[in-house]
C-alpha cells in the first residue's frame, strides 16, 4: 500500500510528459459515414529532401494512434470528469439497451454506499446500461444479423491508415508469408462485419464503456498489443494506475488490462475505464478472491457472478475467464518444473481440488455467456495451465486445456459472444508454431492472444526481449494480439519506464509480424524512415520512429547541436566514414562521368546476372 492516502493524488491532470504531442505530429480525424464517426490518426509531417539530393517533397505519414484525446491539444483533459462518451449515440440509436435505475451488483452497491470511499470515488453521473430483456447487444450478434455498426465502420477506417491515397512507390513492400491469413488491400466495413460474424475477429466494446475508440483484434488485421497495469497489495495508487494507462496508450498499447490485486480495485478500475480510450480487460477471479479474503476454496458461483456484473456495469471490455482449467487436468501439472504459473489457473486448480468438483466456471459457462451478451463483454479464455518454463512447454496439460478452450469457443459463439483465446508463456522458438497451429485448429480461428512467449528462461531483467522474439514469431504465424512483458517480469511491479520499454518492444514485435505477413501498407513507415535516414533528415528519422524522444535523446548525447540534425554523419562513424555519404558520392561521381547508373541497372535487370557482370564491367572499364 502506498503510504499516502490514495485520494490525495487524484488531481485533474496527468503527467505532462504523457500527453505532449509528438514533434511534427498532429492528431487528425478521418470522418466516417456519419458526423460522430471520427477516426483518430497521427499525421507525421516530413521535411523536403535536401536540394543536393533532389529537393523532393515527402508526403506525411499516417500512423495508428492509440493515445486517444490525450494528445489532442484541442481537448481539455480532466481525469475527474473522464473522457467524452463518443459511442453513446451509437447504442442509443440501436434501441436495444436500457439505462438501469442503478447498479445490479450487490458488491457495487456496497461500495457506492460506503461513505468512507467518497473521496476516492469517481463521480459518475449516469447509471449502467444493459441489453433489454431477451436482447443480445454483442458486435457478433449484429454482424451475424448483417448489420454494420458504427464500431465496425470505425475500425475499418482505422485499419486502413489512409493508405488508399498513397502512391505505389510509397507503399511498395515485399510479398509476405501469411500462413493462411487473408488480408485485403483495403479493409471495408463489410469485411469487418464478415470477420466478426465468422468469429475470426472481435471488437471488445462494452456498452458501458462509451469513451472507447473501437479496435479490432483478429488475424486478418494489424497485430495488436496489450499492456498490463494494476496495483498489488504492496505498491501503487489509483492515480499511478491512471497515469500508467495514459502512458501505455501514448506508446501504443491497443488494449490495457487492469490486473489489480491490491486494495480498492473497484474504485481503481472505475477511474481507469472512465479515462481510457482503449478497451480494458480484467481477470475477475482476482477480485472475487479478494472478496473471500484470498481463500480460493471459499469462492463460489454467486460471488463470481456478482463480480462479473459489477465489472460489466463499470464497462470492462473483456474478461479473462479460466474455464478451461478442468479438474482432470490439474494432476497433469504435478510433474512440471514450474507447476501452474497462471494466477487464475492456480486459484481455480486449488478450488477444484478443495471441493473435488469440476471448475465452476466450466459448469456455469453458459450462465457467463448470458452476462457477456447483455453488455457485450468479450471472452478472453484464459490459459490457466500455460507453461511457466521452457521445460513445461507444449505439454499434455497445456494442450488438454486448449482443446477445452476450443469447445468453449463454440459454446460462446452459439450465444454470439465475442471470444479470443489466451496462449503461452514460455516456449522455445521451434515449438512456437505448434501452439499457433493447434490454436487455429481447435478454436476454429478465433483470435489468439499470447503472453510472449519467452524463448529462454535465463534472462530475468530482460524478459521483454526473451519474449519479444517469441511474440514477433507468433504474430507472424497468426496471433492477433500480443500481451506485453516488461523488463520487470518475474521480479517486481513495472514502473512507467518499464511500461514504455515493454510497449515499444511489443510494438516492434507486432510490426515485424505485420511486415512478415505482408500486411498491405505495413512497410510505408519503414520506407519513409529509411528514406529519411539515407537523406540525413535526422528529425524525420526520429519522428517516424516508435519512440521519437528516445531516438533524439540518444543522438543528442554526443551531438546535441541543432546543426548536427542536418549533418551528413553521426558520432558513430564521424564525417569521413559515413557510408551513406559515400554512397551519395558514388552516385554523384557516376553522374559526373556521364554514366547513368539507372541505365546500367535497367540493362542488368533485363539480362541474366552473368551477362550483366560483363556488361557492367564494360560500362565502367573506360570513361
The footprint of a copy of itself on residues 10-29 (CB under 8 A) is none
Which of 47, 118, 131, 9 lies closest to 540, judged by CA?
47
- Tell me: does residue 93 bind a copy of itself (CB under 8 A): no
Going by their DSSP bridges, the two strands 38-44 and 61-64 should be labelled as antiparallel
- Tell me: does residue 53 bind a copy of itself (CB under 8 A): no
The torsion angles phi and psi of 13, rounded to 5 degrees, stand at -105, 165
- Tell me: does residue 52 bind a copy of itself (CB under 8 A): no
HSE, side-chain direction, 13 A CA sphere, residue 182:
7
Q: How far is CA 23 from CA 27, 209, 425, 547, in A?
A: 11, 31, 37, 11
- Tell me: does residue 47 bind a copy of itself (CB under 8 A): no
Identity of the residue, 304 or 542, whose beta carbon is nearer to a copy of itself in the bound complex:
542
- Tell me: does residue 509 bind a copy of itself (CB under 8 A): yes
Task: Spell out the SS3 assignment of 345-414.
Answer: HHHHHHHHHHHCCCCHHHHCHHHHHHHHHHHCCEEEECCCCCCCCHHHCCCHHHHHHHHHHHHHHHHHHH
Query: What is the three-class DSSP state of 42?
Result: strand
Which listed residue (5, 146, 180, 331) binds a copy of itself by CB under 8 A?
331
Task: Report the alpha-carbon distance of residue 205 to residue 278 in Å, rounded.
Answer: 9
Of 3-11, 93-101, 152-160, 537-545, which segment contacts a copy of itself by CB under 8 A? 537-545
Task: Report the alpha-carbon distance of residue 141 to residue 406 in Å, rounded.
Answer: 20
- Tell me: does residue 327 bind a copy of itself (CB under 8 A): yes
Convert residues 577-596 into a mask of x (bound to a copy of itself by CB under 8 A) and - (unbound).
Answer: xxxx-xxxxxx-xx--x---
For 80, other C-beta atoms within 10 Å of its C-beta total 13
Cβ at position 92, least distance to a copy of itself in Å = 39
Which listed residue (20, 554, 566, 607) binds a copy of itself by CB under 8 A?
554
Q: Does 151 sit behind a cis peptide bond, omega within 30 degrees of 0 on the bond before it?
A: no
Annotated ligand binding at 383? The verdict is: yes
Classify residue 340 by burial, with Cβ atoms within 10 Å: 0-12, 13-18, 19+: buried
Of 28-36, 137-145, 348-356, 441-449, which segment contacts a copy of itself by CB under 8 A? 348-356
Annotated ligand binding at 364? The verdict is: no
Classify residue 291 by burial, with Cβ atoms within 10 Å: 0-12, 13-18, 19+: middle
Distance, first Cα to last Cα, the chain: 78
Of 79-87, 152-160, 207-215, 515-523, which segment contacts a copy of itself by CB under 8 A? 515-523
Cβ at position 254, least distance to a copy of itself in Å = 16
Which residues from 360-389 bind a copy of itself, rule CB under 8 A? 388-389
Which grid cell sits at 519? 500486411
Which residues from 188-227 bind a copy of itself, rule CB under 8 A? none
Which listed residue (172, 185, 414, 441) binds a copy of itself by CB under 8 A?
172
Classify residue 459 by burial, with Cβ atoms within 10 Å: 0-12, 13-18, 19+: middle
Which of 623, 577, 564, 566 lies closest to 53, judged by CA?
566
- Chain centre distance of CA 37: 22
Which residues from 251-280 bind a copy of itself, rule CB under 8 A? 261-262
- Tell me: does residue 30 bind a copy of itself (CB under 8 A): no
Which listed residue (212, 265, 420, 529) binds a copy of itself by CB under 8 A?
529
Identity of the residue, 23 or 580, whose beta carbon is nearer to a copy of itself in the bound complex:
580
- Tell me: does residue 428 bind a copy of itself (CB under 8 A): yes
Which grid cell sits at 200? 475470426
Identity of the residue, 390 or 421, whose beta carbon is nearer to a copy of itself in the bound complex:
390
- Tell me: does residue 604 bind a copy of itself (CB under 8 A): yes
Which listed residue (469, 474, 479, 485) binds a copy of itself by CB under 8 A?
469
- Tell me: does residue 171 bind a copy of itself (CB under 8 A): no
Task: Report the alpha-carbon distance of residue 425 to residue 382 in Å, rounded.
Answer: 12
Which listed residue (11, 328, 363, 607) binds a copy of itself by CB under 8 A?
328
Going by their DSSP bridges, the two strands 25-31 and 97-99 should be labelled as unpaired
Cβ at position 229, least distance to a copy of itself in Å = 12
Identity of the residue, 186 or 235, whose beta carbon is nearer to a copy of itself in the bound complex:
235
Cβ at position 9, least distance to a copy of itself in Å = 18
Identity of the residue, 8 or 429, whose beta carbon is nearer to a copy of itself in the bound complex:
429
Binding residues for Zn(2+): 426, 490
Binding residues for [4Fe-4S] cluster: 570, 573, 578
Binding residues: 228, 257, 286, 322, 342-344, 383-386, 422, 426, 449, 490, 570, 573, 578
Amino acid at each position: 500500500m502506498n503510504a499516502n492516502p490514495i485520494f490525495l493524488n487524484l488531481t485533474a491532470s496527468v503527467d505532462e510528459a504523457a500527453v505532449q504531442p509528438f514533434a511534427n505530429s498532429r492528431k487528425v480525424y478521418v470522418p466516417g459515414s456519419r458526423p460522430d464517426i471520427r477516426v483518430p490518426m497521427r499525421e507525421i509531417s516530413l521535411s523536403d529532401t535536401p536540394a543536393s539530393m533532389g529537393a523532393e517533397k515527402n508526403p506525411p505519414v499516417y500512423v495508428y494512434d492509440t493515445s486517444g484525446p490525450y494528445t489532442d491539444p484541442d481537448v481539455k483533459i480532466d481525469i475527474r470528469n473522464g473522457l467524452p462518451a463518443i459511442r453513446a449515440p451509437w447504442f442509443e440509436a440501436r434501441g436495444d439497451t436500457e439505462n438501469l435505475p442503478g447498479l445490479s451488483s450487490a458488491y457495487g452497491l456496497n461500495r457506492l454506499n460506503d461513505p468512507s470511499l467518497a473521496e476516492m470515488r469517481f463521480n459518475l453521473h449516469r447509471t449502467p446500461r444493459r441489453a433489454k430483456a431477451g436482447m443480445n447487444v454483442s458486435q457478433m450478434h449484429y454482424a451475424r444479423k448483417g448489420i454494420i455498426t458504427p464500431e465496425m465502420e470505425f475500425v475499418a477506417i482505422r485499419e486502413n491508415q489512409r493508405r488508399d491515397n498513397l502512391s505505389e512507390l510509397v507503399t511498395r513492400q515485399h510479398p509476405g508469408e501469411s500462413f493462411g491469413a487473408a488480408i485485403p488491400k483495403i479493409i471495408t466495413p463489410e469485411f469487418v462485419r464478415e470477420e466478426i460474424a465468422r468469429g475470426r475477429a472481435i471488437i471488445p466494446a462494452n456498452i458501458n464503456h462509451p469513451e472507447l475508440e473501437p479496435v479490432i483484434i483478429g488475424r486478418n488485421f494489424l497485430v495488436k498489443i496489450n499492456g498490463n497495469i494494476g496495483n498489488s497489495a504492496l505498491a501503487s495508487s489509483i492515480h499511478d494506475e491512471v497515469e500508467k494507462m495514459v502512458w501505455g496508450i501514448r506508446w501504443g498499447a491497443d488494449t490495457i488490462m487492469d490486473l489489480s490485486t491490491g486494495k480498492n480495485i473497484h474504485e481503481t478500475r472505475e477511474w481507469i475505464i472512465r479515462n481510457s480510450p482503449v478497451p480494458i480487460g480484467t481477470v475477475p477471479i482476482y477480485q472475487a478472491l479478494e472478496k473471500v479474503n484470498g481463500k480460493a476454496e471459499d469462492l463460489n458461483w454467486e460471488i463470481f457472478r456478482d463480480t462479473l456484473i459489477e465489472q460489466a456495469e463499470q464497462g470492462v471490455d473483456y474478461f479473462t475467464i479460466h474455464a478451461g482449467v478442468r479438474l482432470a487436468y490439474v494432476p497433469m501439472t504435478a510433474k512440471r518444473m514450474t507447476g501452474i504459473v497462471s494466477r487464475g489457473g492456480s486459484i481455480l486448480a486449488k478450488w477444484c481440488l478443495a471441493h473435488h468438483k469440476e471448475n465452476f466456471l466450466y459448469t456455469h459457462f453458459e450462465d457467463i455467456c448470458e452476462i457477456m451478451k447483455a453488455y457485450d463483454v468479450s471472452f478472453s479464455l484464459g490459459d490457466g495451465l500455460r507453461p511457466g518454463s521452457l521445460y513445461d512447454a507444449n505439454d499434455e496439460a497445456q494442450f488438454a486445456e486448449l482443446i477445452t478452450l476450443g469447445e468453449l469457443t463454440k459454446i460462446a459463439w452459439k450465444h454470439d459472444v465475442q471470444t479470443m483465446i489466451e496462449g503461452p508463456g514460455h516456449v522455445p522458438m521451434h515449438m512456437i508454431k505448434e501452439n499457433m497451429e493447434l490454436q487455429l485448429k481447435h478454436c476454429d480461428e478465433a483470435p489468439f492472444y499470447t503472453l510472449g512467449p519467452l524463448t529462454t528462461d535465463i534472462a530475468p531483467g530482460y524478459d521483454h526481449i526473451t519474449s519479444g522474439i517469441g511474440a514477433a514469431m507468433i504474430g507472424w504465424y497468426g496471433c492477433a494480439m500480443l500481451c506485453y512483458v516488461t523488463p520487470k517480469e518475474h521480479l517486481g511491479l513495472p514502473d512507467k519506464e518499464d511500461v514504455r520499454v515493454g510497449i515499444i518492444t511489443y510494438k516492434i514485435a507486432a510490426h515485424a509480424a505485420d511486415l512478415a505477413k505482408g500486411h498491405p501498407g505495413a512497410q510505408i513507415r519503414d520506407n519513409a524512415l529509411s528514406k529519411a535516414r539515407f537523406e540525413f533528415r535526422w528529425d524525420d528519422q526520429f519522428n517516424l520512429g516508435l519512440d521519437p524522444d528516445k531516438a533524439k535523446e540518444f543522438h543528442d548525447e554526443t551531438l546535441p547541436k541543432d546543426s548536427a540534425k542536418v549533418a551528413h554523419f553521426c558520432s558513430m562513424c564521424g564525417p569521413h566514414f559515413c557510408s551513406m555519404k559515400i554512397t551519395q558520392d558514388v552516385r554523384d561521381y557516376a553522374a559526373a562521368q556521364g554514366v547513368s547508373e539507372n541505365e546500367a541497372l535497367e540493362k542488368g535487370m533485363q539480362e541474366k546476372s552473368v551477362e550483366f557482370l560483363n556488361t557492367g564491367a564494360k560500362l565502367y572499364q573506360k570513361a
